[in-house]
């Protein structure tokens, strides 16, 4: 057993092990051998055999609460992975509150002066000593700049980066040990979850990352008058200090009952519209739009806050997500399964037919009602959770999006219970579909696909020669084709795209040739006297449409 930097962090290890043991997880510590390595008291080993009556989820929540900021953030991230972890654990971890006592203002003042290299009075004309809010990573103070603007100043907790880095090393060690000893750690992909968490927590403790995210989203959201994003004051921001415009407003729980339903409905639609624009057009979206991160400024406007963690979807992912949504709304299990294969890592031994049957079983709960009356985020997550049972590893970008949609839907429901995210998303889906049907975009995509396949195609003759050589030698070859259907479907898509591109190119060449011929050719020619261009265009265009229809109807483009 190897513990990286084990001796260096021995005291922290002991704290973690003691906490786990006290809450009924001592048997795990014994199994991986940490009692012996850390020379822990025999009393702890005895405690590990005590029976626990509390649920596993409750005990995990108490553990992360006691172990501090890094573990609280880990618990909050796990609570978003409904596609992997069981509901009993998710429900407990959703209760975690990132609300801790503030640290003294003197420490905050010292950090500001160290980072700004000047007196705090030279930076702000006023600053409140009592924070507006305090969390495990930092706290926020109201202040006024020398130029008169009101700002919110977010300040990191002292030494939080060092604390987080130490815990990251330990978490990686523990995840590796558990993965080696327990099948449940492999099933829940514990090491992958920890690595995903490491990226997220490191971004969150670096306020430069949040500043860049906020600026980017603010520029993307300029056309949305009802949704406001804070402005970052870069000259007063560092890795540990973030200064942004201050918004005074109300949380959704504080909204006046007198606010008209019309205005609430309009604001709900604006929030949904802005979020979907972030997802499907910009590819950069707020990953945690919970009520604490959205405040209502007046009758018509809301502000989105806290872009320390964002989700990202590249163009291919946005197309794929739209395809997945379309397949779900059509309630076509085969199409849903095919889109899932493009959104995840698929095990080689997957039972495709059984997977499609299970997808259809899940979709049956939506058959009797229009999809715009369904909680869309939960419908997405249902499929993702079921996929995990087949060891299908949905890419984290999609699971983050599913969680964000669920969170946003819960908030929007309190503003307008009748609003459907599917309806708001429809124009964006059509826009992406039109873009995808653009012939030039298709040609570009086919070209990229051709480059990707080039190496594979050039290796095929060599692989065949090697296989034939082995057969000639009389050596047995074990041939496995567990994902033949997936492979053939992908080949169909590639062939259809190439066919379409060749037909489009031929159509263009013929038309250009006829136009040149009719313009510069012999004017007494029968080709010029007859409506050859018109006839050729009609015939070619009809064949062109027929090919497109057959390809699209196959569902394999």
CA atoms within 13 A on the CB side of 345: 7
Q: What is the pLDDT of residue 474?
A: 58
Structural domain contains residue 25: yes
Domain count, the chain: 3
Do 425 and 451 fall within a single domain?
Answer: no
Do 274 and 193 fall within a single domain?
Answer: no
DSSP letters along 263-286, please?
HHHHHHHHHHHHHHHIIIIISEEE
Structural domain contains residue 238: no
Do 166 and 18 fall within a single domain?
Answer: yes
> CA 527 to CA 161: how far, in whole Å?
78
Do 471 and 426 fall within a single domain?
Answer: no
Do 448 and 422 fall within a single domain?
Answer: no
Do 404 and 311 fall within a single domain?
Answer: yes
> CA 544 to CA 71: how far, in whole Å?
59
> CA 22 to CA 217: how far, in whole Å?
44
Do 198 and 327 fall within a single domain?
Answer: no
Among 385, 416, 435, the domain boundary falls at 435
Q: Which of 95-109, 366-380, 434-448 has the lowest mean pLDDT?
A: 434-448
Structural domain contains residue 73: yes
| Structure tokens, 264 | 């609430």
Structural domain contains residue 478: yes
Which pTM value belongs to this model?
Answer: 0.73
Structural domain contains residue 327: yes
Q: 385: closest CA among 368, 406, 367?
A: 406
> Which position has the higher pLDDT, 146 or 508?
146
Structural domain contains residue 145: no
Do 191 and 323 fall within a single domain?
Answer: no
> CA 102 to CA 448: how far, in whole Å?
53
> Which position has the higher pLDDT, 339 or 5?
339
Q: What is the pLDDT of residue 278?
A: 95
Among 435, 454, 485, the domain boundary falls at 435
Q: 310: closest CA among 232, 403, 374?
A: 403
Rounded to an integer, the average pLDDT of 339-350 is: 90
Structural domain contains residue 287: yes
Q: What is the pLDDT of residue 421?
A: 84
pLDDT digits (tens, 9 = 90+) for 117-136: 999 999 999 999 999 988 88
| Structure tokens, 50 | 């005590």
Do 384 and 491 fall within a single domain?
Answer: no
Q: What is the pLDDT of residue 219?
A: 95
Check pLDDT > 80 for residue 313. yes
Structural domain contains residue 3: no
**Average pLDDT over the chain, rounded to whole?**
80
Q: What is the pLDDT of residue 1?
A: 44
Q: What is the pLDDT of residue 480?
A: 47
> CA 29 to CA 26: how far, in whole Å?
5
Q: What is the pLDDT of residue 485?
A: 55
Helix (H) or strand (E) segment spanning residue 22 = none
Do 282 and 404 fall within a single domain?
Answer: yes
Check pLDDT > 50 for residue 447. yes
Q: How large a percentage of the chain has pLDDT more than 90?
A: 32
pLDDT digits (tens, 9 = 90+) for 259-285: 667 788 888 899 999 999 999 999 999
Do 315 and 381 fall within a single domain?
Answer: yes
Do 401 and 520 fall within a single domain?
Answer: no
Q: Which domain holds residue 315?
A: 249-435
Check pLDDT > 80 for residue 417. yes
Among 402, 435, 468, the domain boundary falls at 435
pLDDT digits (tens, 9 = 90+) for 68-117: 889 998 998 888 787 788 888 988 988 887 667 899 999 999 999 999 99
Q: Which of 18-32, 41-55, 252-266 has the lowest mean pLDDT?
A: 41-55
pLDDT digits (tens, 9 = 90+) for 450-498: 655 565 556 666 666 666 666 666 555 455 444 555 555 666 666 666 6
- 25 confidence band (pLDDT: 50, 70, 90): confident
Rounded to an integer, the average pLDDT of 197-226 is: 93
């Amino acid at each position: 057993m190897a513990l990286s930097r084990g001796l260096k962090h021995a005291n922290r290890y002991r704290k973690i092990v003691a906490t786990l043991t006290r809450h009924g997880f001592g048997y795990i510590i014994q199994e991986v051998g940490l009692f012996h390595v850390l020379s822990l008291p025999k009393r702890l080993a005895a405690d590990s055999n005590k029976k626990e009556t509390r649920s596993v989820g409750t005990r995990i929540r108490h553990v992360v609460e006691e172990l501090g900021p890094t573990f609280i953030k880990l618990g909050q991230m796990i609570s978003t992975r409904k596609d992997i972890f069981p509901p009993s654990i998710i429900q407990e971890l959703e209760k975690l509150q990132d609300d801790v006592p503030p640290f003294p203002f003197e420490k905050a003042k010292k950090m500001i002066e160290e980072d700004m290299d000047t007196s705090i009075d030279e930076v702000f004309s006023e600053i409140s000593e009592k924070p507006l809010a305090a969390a495990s990573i930092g706290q926020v103070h109201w202040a006024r700049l020398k130029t008169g603007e009101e700002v919110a100043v977010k300040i990191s907790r002292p030494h939080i980066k060092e604390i987080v880095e130490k815990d990251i090393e330990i978490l990686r060690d523990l995840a590796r040990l558990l993965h080696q000893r327990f099948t449940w750690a492999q099933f829940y992909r514990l090491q992958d979850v920890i690595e995903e968490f490491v990226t997220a927590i490191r971004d969150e403790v670096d306020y430069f990352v949040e500043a860049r995210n906020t600026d980017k989203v603010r520029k993307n959201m300029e056309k949305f008058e009802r949704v406001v994003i804070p402005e970052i004051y870069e000259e007063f921001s560092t890795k540990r200090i973030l200064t942004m415009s201050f918004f005074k407003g109300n949380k959704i729980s504080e909204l006046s009952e007198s606010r008209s339903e019309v205005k609430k409905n309009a604001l709900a639609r604006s929030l949904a519209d802005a979020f979907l624009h972030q997802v499907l057009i910009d590819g950069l979206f707020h990953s945690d739009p919970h009520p604490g991160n959205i405040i209502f400024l007046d009758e018509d406007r809301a502000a989105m806050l806290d872009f320390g963690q964002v989700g990202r979807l590249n163009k291919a992912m946005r197309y794929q997500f739209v395809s997945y949504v379309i397949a779900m709304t059509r309630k076509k299990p085969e199409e849903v399964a095919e889109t899932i294969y493009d959104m995840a890592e698929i095990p080689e031994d997957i039972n495709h037919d059984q997977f499609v049957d299970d997808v259809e079983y899940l979709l049956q709960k939506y058959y009797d009602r229009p999809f715009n009356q369904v909680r869309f985020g939960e419908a997405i997550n249902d499929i993702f959770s079921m996929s995990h049972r087949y060891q299908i590893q949905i890419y984290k970008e999609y699971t983050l999006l599913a969680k964000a949609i669920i969170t946003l839907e819960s908030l929007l429901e309190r503003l307008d219970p009748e609003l459907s995210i599917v309806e708001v998303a429809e124009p964006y889906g059509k826009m992406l579909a039109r873009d995808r049907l653009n012939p030039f975009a298709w040609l570009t995509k086919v070209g990229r696909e051709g480059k990707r396949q080039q190496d594979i195609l050039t290796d095929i003759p060599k692989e065949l020669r090697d296989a034939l050589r082995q057969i000639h030698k009389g050596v047995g070859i074990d041939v496995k084709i567990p994902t033949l259907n997936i492979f053939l479907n992908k080949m169909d898509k590639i062939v259809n795209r190439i066919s379409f591109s060749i037909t489009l190119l031929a159509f263009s060449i013929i038309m250009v040739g006829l136009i040149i011929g009719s313009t510069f050719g012999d004017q007494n020619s029968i080709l010029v006297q007859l409506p050859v261009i018109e006839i050729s265009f009609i015939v070619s265009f009809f064949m062109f449409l027929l090919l497109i229809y057959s390809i699209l109807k196959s569902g394999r483009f």
